[in-house]
Amino acid sequence: MELTWYGRTCVRMRGKDAVVVADAYQSVVGPTGRGITGDIVTYSHPDDSPLPNGKGRMSRDGTTKIPVSLEDAFCLDGPGEYEVKDVLMTGVRTYRDEHKGKERGSNVAFTCELDGVHIVHLGDIAHLLTEDKLTEIGAIDVACIPIGGLLSANKAAELVAQLDAKVVVVMMACEDDDATEALAKFLHEMGVSAPPVAQSKLSLTVSTVPAEVTTVVLESRGKI
Structural domain boundaries of the chain?
A: 2-216
Q: What is the pLDDT of residues 47-75, one digit of tens each?
A: 999 998 888 899 988 889 999 999 999 99
CB 119 within 8 A of CB 111: yes
30 or 222, greater pLDDT: 30
How far apart (Å, rounded) are the C-alpha atoms in residues 79 and 3? 23
Query: Does 89 score more than 50 pLDDT?
Result: yes
Query: Does 182 score more than 90 pLDDT?
Result: yes
pLDDT score at 224: 42
pLDDT score at 29: 93
Cβ atoms within 10 A of the Cβ of 116, count? 14
Burial class of residue 1 (count of CB atoms within 10 Å of its CB; 0-12, 13-18, 19+): buried
CB 51 within 8 A of CB 64: no
CA angle in degrees (0–180, nearest 5) for 182-184-187: 110
What CATH class has 2-216? alpha beta
CB 10 within 8 A of CB 222: yes
How far apart (Å, rounded) are the C-alpha atoms in residues 108 and 42? 9
Q: The dihedral of CA 54, 57, 60, 62: what is its sign?
A: positive
Q: What is the pLDDT of residues 128-138, one digit of tens each?
A: 999 999 999 99
Query: Does 98 score more than 70 pLDDT?
Result: yes
CB 66 within 8 A of CB 59: yes
pLDDT score at 176: 80
Long-range contacts of 56-59 (CB under 8 A, 24+ apart): 56/26, 56/31
CB 78 within 8 A of CB 103: no
Q: What is the pLDDT of residues 10-49, one digit of tens each?
A: 999 999 999 999 999 999 999 999 889 999 999 999 999 9
pLDDT score at 223: 53
How far apart (Å, rounded) are the C-alpha atoms in residues 84 and 121? 17
Share of the chain above pLDDT 90, in %: 88
Share of the chain above pLDDT 70, in %: 99
pLDDT score at 56: 84
Identity at 165, one-letter amino acid code: A
Query: Does 154 score more than 70 pLDDT?
Result: yes
How does the average pLDDT of the chain come out, rounded?
95
CA distances from 128 to 83, 94, 153, 209, 221 (A): 27, 9, 12, 24, 29
